[in-house]
Chain A
Amino acid sequence: MSLDAIELAKSGRLERRSVVRALLAERGDMLAIGGLGAPAWDITAAGDGPLNLPLWGGMGGAAMMGLGLALAQPSRRVLVITGDGEMLMGIGSLATIATKQPRNLSVVVLDNEHYGETGMQETATHHGVDLAGMARAAGITDSRRVDRPDEVLALRDAIRGGAGPLFAQVKIDDASLPLVLPPREAAILQARMREAILGPAAHLQ
C-alpha cells in the first residue's frame, strides 16, 4: 500500500473511500462492520463480501456489535468503520468497550462533521467535540486523530497489529459520494458472515 493510494480532496481533507479501501486492502480474515449510512456504502464500495456486515439501521450500535463479535472471535481482527453521528449516538459504548479491553477490536470513525444522509446538518464534532479524546479518557489508550495519508497507513498497520482496543477519529472531506448499496436483506447479511466464520455449522447452531 503506497501513500499515493490515499487521496486528499480539494478541501485538503482525506477522501473517505480511499481511506476505507486502504484500511480493508489485503485484509486477510479481518471482519468489518460498516455503520449506518455512508460508512456502510464505503465498505461496500471497497468490495462487498461475507466478511462485511453493512448496517441499514441500529444507529448507535455499531461499536457494540463489534465488541460482541470481538469477544466471540478473539483470534480474528474486528474492524468497525462508522460515522461521527452514529458514534455520538452510542458514545457510552466507548466506556463499555474500555472496560473489556478487547485486543482484537478497532473502531474507526469517519468524521465529516455532518449527518450526511439527512441533509448535511452539523454534528457535535463540527463544534469541536473531540471523539478521540473522549475515547482516550474512557480508557482506550490507543486513540488517535488522523488527518494525513501517512497517518492512515500507520492506522492500517496498527489495526493489523492487534494491540487494541484501538480508536481512530479520521477527519474526512464532507462530499456526498455516489451510493454503492449492499444487499438489503439483513438475514442474508448475518448468515453469510456467520458461515464465513463458522462454516456450514453456522446454520445448525
Chain B
Amino acid sequence: MQRDTLESAPDAAADWPDQIYGLLKQHGIRQVALVPDAGHARLIRRCLADNDMQVVTLTTEEEGIAMLFGAWLGGEKGVLLMQSSGVGNCINMLSVPIAHRTPCPMIVTMRGEFGEFNPFQVPMGNATGAVLEAMGTLVKRADTPEDVAPTVDATLRLAFNTFRPTATLIGQRVIGAKTFGK
C-alpha cells in the first residue's frame, strides 16, 4: 500500500496551495501557527521559506487559537493551519477570540469524507463544520480547486474586518483527488 492511500495530499500540479500563500502575503500575515497535515504540506513549505513569517509548529491546535490572540494584541496578523481532526482540539479555546472580539482565521484541510481510509478521521471530519459553527465561527467550504482562493480570501477578510473566528474548510475532493476509489 502506498502512503498516499493513507494521507490525502494535493496533486503536484495543483496550484491552490500557492494561491493561499499569495493571499497570506497579500493580507500581511506574519504568524503561521500549525499542526501539519499532508494537505497543507506545500503551503507549509512556502511559509517556512519566507523570512517575514514566523512559522510555529504546535503540540496541539488549541495553542494556535491562543497564539493568534497574542499576536493580535501585539498588532500582528496570524493564521491557523490544521486538519479537520484538529478542530476538535480547539473548541473551548475559541471562547478567547469570541469574548475578546479578535480575528482568528483558520484554514482546515478536511479528512474523513470523500474516499477516507481511516475510520478515526470520520467522526471529527463529519462534525467539523457543525462544531465550529456551534462555537460562533463563520464557516465557508471550498470543494473545487477554483473555490479555494476566493474562499480563503473571504475567510481572512471576515476575520480581520469583523473580529471573530472564521474558517475555510478545504474539502477532501480538492485535496485527495488522486486517491479516490482506493
Contacts and interface: CB of A to CB of B under 8 A. Distances in A.
Interface of A: 31, 33, 53, 56-62, 64-73, 76, 90, 92-93, 95-96, 99-100, 186-187, 189-190, 193-194, 197-198, 202, 205
A60 B93 contact: yes
A92 B35 CA distance: 13
A190 B56 CA distance: 22
A64 B73 CA distance: 12
Contacts of B56: 67, 71, 96, 99-100
Nearest to B103: A205
A75 to B, nearest CB: 11
Interface residues of B, number: 33
Q: Is the interface of B mostly helix, strand, loop or mixed?
A: helix
B101 A194 contact: no
Contacts of A67: 56, 67, 70
A34 B68 CA distance: 17
Given A58-B95, A99-B57, A64 B100 contact: no
A70 B101 CA distance: 20
20 contacts: A53-B73, A57-B95, A57-B99, A60-B66, A60-B93, A64-B64, A65-B69, A67-B67, A68-B67, A68-B76, A69-B70, A71-B70, A72-B76, A99-B57, A100-B56, A190-B69, A190-B100, A190-B102, A197-B73, A197-B74
Nearest to A59: B92
B37 interface: no
Contact of A100 (B54, B62, B73, B96): B54
